[in-house]
Amino acid sequence: MQVFSEDDDRPHPHDDHPLWQESALFCWHDMDSGTGGFWRLGQEPIAGAINSCFGVFGPDGKRFRSNVTGVPMGGGDRGEGHMGWGPHLRVDFDGSARIRADFPDCEAELAFTDFHPRFDYQSIAVEDGNLERSGHHFEVSGRMTGHMRIGDQEISVDALGYRDRSWSHRDWTWMRGTRWWPCVFGPDLATHVVHVARDGGMIKAGYVWRDGKTIPVVDSDVLVALESDAMTPRNGQGVLHLANGETMHISCDRGDALVMHVRGYTAVETLGTAILNGRRGMSNLEVCTNPAGGHAEPVCALGSNMVNGLSSRP
């Protein structure tokens, strides 16, 4: 299993393929305070474009969301040790990953601390060793700490979280349905499962990180209860069959949710509490339901935030 170094966290040289992109993703949720957030930044150097979906929520239902796709990438958006979008969002990679957000209605200073090595789970959990067919991808669980402001509300953050990094050719059109579901219970335990519906069938992959070891998920079943908008989960449950013969039953609820729209792909990032054998942890259940291959932005959301700017949860 490949383990990535600190240098691999920093931006990478790109080839001349028009679909080459590099992304950094973070999600976090404090189950006790009811605060959380999500940010996915994708940079396309050949296309000269940025895709970014950032959203946070507080305990009283205040929310902030910023979603852009295909906007121009500026000269300062990418450097040897950072990635960002203009003056609004930036992540610095300097041994840890530090996020800064700067909007009139939302500010954040956050730092992510990894719980375990940055490993390429696809090399052990995917049949051909690569879900994205080319490039590199790692994921890691950890803790997000710092502070943020939503509207006039100041919030301290001390939350379990999950992040990933990828640099590869990314075609958003081939995925017709996805379930991407990381759950983090502490430094000793995390689970991850992904289902992707595509032409030719279903791809399933996953792993469990437990007590310093990675155990592949050889099969899994994931069920999601959707709102009438046909995209926002209320809750989810899964059965994970591990390579060592174990079976795990896991479930999650929805604390809040965020609509991400990027290059015609729409998914809902559902942050909540996971339960595994009575143990509580953070969950981010990403769901995309697009069997007919549509690419327009959604028109209605029930329970998830699809409004840019400051808003309140109904």
Tell me how far apart the alpha carbons of residues 69 and 67 are, in angstroms, rounded to a whole number.
Answer: 7
Residue 245, number of CB atoms within 10 A of its CB: 7
Which structural domains are found in the chain, ordered by start? Answer: 7-295 (2.40.370.10)
Query: pLDDT for 170-200, tens place per residue?
Result: 999 988 999 999 999 999 999 999 999 988 7
| pLDDT by residue, tens only, the chain of 314 residues | 678 888 899 999 999 999 999 999 999 999 999 999 999 999 999 999 999 999 999 999 999 999 999 999 999 999 999 999 999 999 999 988 999 999 999 999 999 999 999 988 777 666 654 555 556 889 999 999 999 999 999 999 999 999 999 999 999 998 899 999 999 999 999 999 999 998 878 989 999 999 999 999 999 999 999 999 999 999 999 999 999 999 999 999 999 999 999 999 999 999 999 999 999 999 999 999 999 999 999 999 999 999 999 999 98
For 3, the 3-state DSSP assignment is: strand
Question: CA 221: distance to chain centroid?
Answer: 20
Query: pLDDT for 109-137, tens place per residue?
Result: 999 999 999 988 777 666 654 555 556 88
CA count, 13 A, side-chain hemisphere, 224: 23
C-beta of residue 37 within 8 angstroms of C-beta of residue 28: yes
